[in-house]
Chain A
Amino acid sequence: MNRKIAAVAAIATVLVASACSSSSSSSGGDKATLSKDGKGKKVTVWLMQDAQKGWPEVVEAAKKEFTAQTGAEVDVQWQTWTNYTTKLDTALLSGNAPDALEIGNTQAAKYIEAGSFVDLTSVKSQFDNSDKWLDSVAASGQSADGSKTYAVPYYAGARVLIYRKDLFDAAGVTQAPTTIDELKAALTKVKAANANVPNFSALYMPGQNWYSAVSFGAGQFGVKGIIAKKDGDKWTGNLTDPKFIEGVKTWNDLQKEYSVGGTTTDEATQDAQMSKGNIAAIIGNGWEVSAVADPKTGDPALKDKLATIALPGLAAGTPTPAFLGGSDLAVPSKAANPGLGATFLQIYTNTAQQTALAKHAIPNAKNLVAAYKQADPANKATGEAAEGLTWFIPNSPLWSGADETALKNAFGAIAAGGDPATELKKAQETLVKDLNG
């Protein structure tokens, strides 16, 4: 008996003892180089699941070219967005970081401030189209003052108006609306034509879709300093600015008039809802067009009945600014082969790969958006939205998911009948407190 216990104990001790003996690997330098010397080396790259399911061929092509140029192998490890920040927190803190990684552009500032990414400023000019990167996505990869570049734009996404052309046609709306007033007129007609459809929304606007609510605010207020802006060291909120509230009221009016249900939900289920047939329009990302008409997640019968336009604005030709979301690519400071990691990013974001990527998502540079628009008729609107005025969250390392929750909840409360000024003031207090530390 004693021997057995001793054996168990011994095994456990060995496990822990061996556990504590190895040392952490050394951290890489902070200066960026583009190394081509990779014979016999293996480069680890973290890319999100989007590429695995959306554009694996682009990744394969980049891997091949990278190996041809440097002799190094590439090990792409697919990541999931769920809990990704926890994973980054730990990996970037330790010596266990990959050589290059993808990061959501709303999350980049936190790691840039902490010095977790290699400074790419000196090699930026060697990246294709680096002078024509899409503004908001490029800004998310820069230091707060814009003088240094830590992350390379990867792809972007913008929300547009997705509508049922058949329903609009049937209601007598043959010209796509170009202003908010025209949109309202069109929606009124569509609503009247479908008065007998139960639960019908001419434009379905879930209350917690803060992206579209802020977009309407930005339509009145402008995109500069949207939500909050920094004066010296201090952030001040702009959510209670009369112009912003004016825009939010436009959003709220549309919602009250044309949207049924969904005050306490966000936009995650709107595609499934739309495929049920009782929704004539939604505000969504370009890919949602195919989600609504997908045989598995939606209704394939809607395939040719959906159309997209940039969300109409106050005047014709100036659409309501879209939120420019997307992903960045960066090289961790603790990477084992930062030089090779940077080279992989250079190849993965070059004109050839980005043109191939344009079939699936908005590429990272303005001059490549044309290729994206040609890839699919539905892309025209999203491409235009990305090229036009866009807005982005305050570029601060202290911006977090909690602030997005505060905004979501504020707009949810407004949608449920709350007073816009009061609810926005509450959210602004939370945000400003967060941004100022």
Chain B
Amino acid sequence: MSVTTNETVNRSEKSGPAPAGKPQRRGFFAAGQYIPYALLLPAIVVLVGVLAYPLFRLFDLAFQNVNRYAYLVNPSLSKYIGFEGFSKILGDHQFWEVVLRSIYFTAELVILSMVLSMLIALLLNRVSNWARVTVITVMMFVWAIPALVNGQVFRWLFSPNGGVVDYLAFLVTGDESWKHYDWFADPNVGLYVVGASVIIWGALPFLVLGLYAALTQVPAELTEAARLDGANAFQVFRHVTIPVIRPFLMISAALSFIWDFQVFAQIFSLRNTSPEPGYWTIGTYLYMNGIVRSRYSESSVISIVMILMMLAVLVFYIRQMLKIGANER
């Protein structure tokens, strides 16, 4: 992290128009070194006040053997075991199975949800007003429904006994056997088809509405000018639209990755609160091996390993994202 910091600072010093050594400040508040800190203060106070101890505890527990409730209640019973907890998790072959599955599943979710939401957001820019309001209202509906109720509805939809998805498949194909097709018998179908559709369905409203809002920031003059210069629709999208919405695009992609990588609640609900090992991605692994077993230290270890993995994937992203707003102009 410190490397990145230095790098950004160096860059700003080299490329900024301001004299070397002085931070670049333009626009508002172009006075006073302390202003950014004053602006950050409320956020920092809240975050530190609420999260400092929990995060410290997360790391503290990771190096202890607090794997039963009694140890948590009576700290004198527990002891520090160094990296033993880490080597136990990293040496668990099931863990690596789960990591691999999480990578496939996350890739599927992020790619599909980003592409679909981009397409829908672009579509919203081309439709009549009434159609757009309809789509947005539906999206809002989907987003607002509590997760507890969502899970229940999807379990009904995909039920092998009178489920509506089976029935629709029967209506379309005319094949009676579809009426009792069990979507969950094969974990690969259950996870990569049913699980993915539940999660993408739930993720689309956020992404579509966000991307749509970002698209409204694309100046019409720019796209029109590009068209006058003979650019086709794809070129306009690639060279005019994308650069403008890039900040939001990157952030939503990164956030989608973060949320999808640790996805848990939807799978848990879909599998009657006891997901089979074939459904375990890393979020479920954390819950089934750590949380529900009251293995507080192992939960911490898994959480930390999970965070490190996400950071490793996002490291290039982060470098890109740090630049936004620093000295792009």
Contact = CB atoms under 8 A, between A and B. Distances in A.
Contact of A266 (B41, B159, B274, B293): B274
Interface string A167-190: 000000000000000000000000
Given A19-B49, A397-B68, A116 B73 contact: yes
A262 interface: yes
Nearest to B46: A12
A422 to B, nearest CB: 14
A93 interface: yes
B49 A9 contact: no
A52 interface: no
B69 A110 contact: yes
Interface string B20-50: 0000000001000000001101100110110
A208 B272 contact: yes
A383 B39 CA distance: 67
A405 interface: yes
B41 A114 contact: no
Contacts of A404: 274
A77 interface: no
Contacts of A12: 41-42, 45-46
Most chain B CB within 10 A, of A93, A114, A276, is at A114
A61 interface: no
Interface string B262-291: 000000000011111100000000001100
Contacts of A122: none
Interface stretch (A311-319, A386-394, A408-416): A408-416
Interface residues of A, number: 49
B177 interface: no
Contact of B289 (A19, A265, A266, A402): A402
B67 interface: yes
Given A115-B70, A398-B68, A262 B160 contact: yes
Given A264-B185, A437-B68, A114 B45 contact: no
Contact of B160 (A16, A110, A261, A268): A261
B42 A412 contact: no
A9 B185 contact: no
A265 B70 CA distance: 34
A410 to B, nearest CB: 10
Interface string B152-183: 00000001111000000000000000001010
B38 A402 contact: no
Interface string B239-260: 0000000000000000000000
Given A263-B185, A264-B185, A402-B288, A16 B272 contact: no
B184 interface: yes
Given A111-B69, A266-B274, A400 B41 contact: no
Nearest to B65: A437
B292 interface: yes
A113 B69 contact: yes
A307 to B, nearest CB: 24
Nearest to B272: A266
Given A9-B42, A405-B288, A114 B274 contact: no
Interface in A391-437: 397-398, 400-402, 404-405, 408-409, 412-413, 416, 434, 437
Contacts of A19: 49
A437 B68 CA distance: 8
A92 interface: yes
A411 B42 CA distance: 53
Contacts of B73: 92-93, 114-116
A114 B49 contact: no
Given A398-B293, A405-B274, 13 more contacts: A5-B38, A9-B41, A9-B42, A16-B49, A113-B68, A115-B70, A265-B160, A269-B159, A397-B70, A400-B294, A402-B293, A409-B276, A413-B276
14 contacts: A9-B38, A9-B42, A12-B42, A16-B48, A93-B73, A111-B69, A115-B74, A264-B160, A273-B161, A400-B293, A401-B292, A404-B274, A405-B274, A405-B292
Enumerate the 7 nearest inter-chain pairs by beta-carbon distance, A residue then B residue, closest first.
Answer: A16-B49, A405-B274, A114-B70, A264-B184, A12-B45, A114-B73, A9-B41
Interface of B: 29, 38-39, 41-42, 45-46, 48-49, 67-70, 72-74, 148, 159-162, 180, 182, 184-185, 272-277, 288-289, 292-294
